[in-house]
Structure 1
């Protein structure tokens, strides 16, 4: 396909699948902004890799089973965005990122996701030797590559099993507030956020009587007084200096 044909397909697919119920979490961007961003991603990627002869594609969104121990007691399953094999026999595990931030090399050298996929790929065929992990940060038109030694993969297996055991032994899962809360669709059942949803549905007469709302209103009043007193004190200080 030519770039124009690919962009026509993108436009047509966008128009077919976009609907008003899609939530845009970033208040600074509109629907048309995301559409243009997607178009630029495609253009940059096409120009960088055309005619796409870097290797043979073995799978797109391919499921991979990851055995962490010899007994098969601990297993994970993942989906590889794209699995390639180059002419020299190297297997490449590709992952596509649309993040607005570009990580440094040392962070990707410690990334566990694609390294776990490598463990799975190595068990799929007998000829898997050299494996390279490849991240495509399409917002920057940049790829980051990394490799793992066998001893690093063995350590990753051990660490992952330890993490699984820790999760299984945990009995209380407390909410953890982070920047990702802004993207969450489950705030209405989250202990940290569900109150604002419950209060928001109350009629005006009950809303104002809610204990949380009362506290916020009282705080606002006191904060306003504090600002006025502070301004008055500054005025008196100026008069004393004169």
Structure 2
């Protein structure tokens, strides 16, 4: 069969808000190792646990999977799990195209908006060899985890922009839902995003070309 031509979409924005895990960094190997152990500890199906975990803060995953357990126990156990995840960087690599994509954004308005903690961000971005964006909204910055829009709204505010002026890059169901709830357009990155209602989807960041307008705005050419 002849190869289908790629479709191209142009998005214009004043600022970009970027998720980390699954969007800039492939940390699936670590996530699976840690959460499979956690699933076994609690006699839960590993695959079901992994279907829930992506994009959320750990304590919210635990609350969803162990609904009758006091939240204080979830916070306590999540602190231990975060320490495990932060110490384990084996197999953490950049998403295809992430180094060039972030290099193109240097000096331009962009922010990281992630459910990861500050220490986990430093560990994974460092392991992947990626620069830290100047503005970061981490787990410590918000009162509610994705799919709540708080993180993305704070990211826009940090850039001095309205939600409508921003484009979000996300891979997870809860992250895409959070961005849409914030009133933002979303580029869904990778296989997890395909079934989600993003504005446009890309297999990886090497399908995104970044250019700029004369007044400093972004022109994104997205090849799906």
What's the TM-score, normalizing by structure 1?
A: 0.23
Quick one: higher RCO (CA 8 Å, sep 6+), 1 or 2? 2
What's the TM-score, normalizing by structure 2?
A: 0.24
Higher helix content, 1 or 2: 1
